[in-house]
């Protein structure tokens, strides 16, 4: 990974999550396209289940880590209104809404007989691509603008505290029937 932050930065876990997310976005896009073309299969349904688990756990925790641990100290220096963290918080909210729509469509696809083309297939493909594009751009901005900015504006001791606070954010425990995210509007 060609990272714009130092390799020993406390923010490396965020950049690593971004790399994992980009890989999973490609996989879910391919699975959704395969479902449109050929119907569901055990392989494509496994990709949907993996992505659902990723949304429920790691990516929700990642957004919470940014909102709880990373953004506040940066906002204390550069301000909260109209700045990059306000944009990132807004994009998290938009993504949470898209994740909920994706969960609904993926659940419909999983209920259809294996091998059939579910009624939700093309919508699932559309929303998968929408998430891929939007989250991909969000990650690009964080990797190339936000994380380097944190290193420019925050002293090493503050970055170390950010790292500790990020680790203290628990992995969400999803319920099987309800969206798992807890948004952290402040
Ligand atoms: Fe983010
Ligand atoms: Fe992020």
Distance 14 CA to ligand 2 centre (A): 6
Predicted TM-score (pTM) of the model is 0.91
- Comparing 30-34, 42-46, 74-78, 174-178, the range with the smallest average pLDDT is 174-178
Ligand nearest the Cα of residue 147 is: 2
Ligand nearest the Cα of residue 143 is: 2
Distance 133 CA to ligand 2 centre (A): 14
Give the mean pLDDT of the chain: 93
Distance 116 CA to ligand 1 centre (A): 36
To the nearest whole percent, how much of the chain has pLDDT over 70? 91
Distance 125 CA to ligand 1 centre (A): 23
pLDDT at residue number 1: 47
Confidence of residue 2 (pLDDT cuts 50, 70, 90): low
Asked if the 12-168 domain carries CATH number 1.20.120.520, the reply is yes
Instruction: Dump pLDDT digits (tens) for 34-48.
Output: 999 999 999 999 999
Confidence of residue 186 (pLDDT cuts 50, 70, 90): very low
Residues, CB-to-ion distance under 5 Å, ligand 2: 142
Instruction: Dump pLDDT digits (tens) for 49-68.
Output: 999 999 999 999 999 999 99
Q: What Å distances lie between residue 14 and 6, 64, 103, 105, 143, CA to CA?
A: 13, 11, 24, 28, 9
Q: Which parts of the chain fold into alpha helices (H)?
A: 12-38, 42-54, 60-65, 71-78, 84-111, 121-141, 147-153, 156-168
pLDDT at residue number 4: 82
């Amino acid at each position: 990974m060609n990272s714009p932050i130092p390799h020993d930065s406390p923010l490396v876990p965020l950049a690593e999550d971004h790399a994992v997310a980009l890989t999973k976005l490609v996989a879910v896009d391919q699975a959704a396209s395969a479902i449109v073309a050929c119907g569901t299969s055990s392989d494509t349904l496994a990709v949907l289940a993996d992505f659902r688990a990723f949304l429920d756990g790691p990516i929700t925790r990642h957004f919470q880590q940014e909102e709880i641990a990373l953004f506040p100290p940066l906002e204390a220096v550069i301000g909260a209104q109209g700045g990059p963290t306000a944009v990132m918080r807004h994009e998290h909210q938009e993504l949470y809404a898209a994740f909920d729509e994706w969960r609904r469509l993926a659940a419909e696809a999983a209920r259809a007989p294996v091998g059939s083309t579910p009624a939700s297939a093309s919508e699932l493909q559309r929303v998968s691509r929408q998430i891929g594009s939007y989250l991909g751009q969000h990650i690009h901005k964080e990797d190339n603008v936000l994380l380097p900015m944190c290193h420019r504006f925050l002293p090493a001791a503050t970055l170390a505290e950010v790292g500790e606070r990020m680790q203290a954010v628990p992995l969400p425990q999803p319920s099987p029937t309800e969206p798992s995210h807890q948004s952290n509007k402040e």
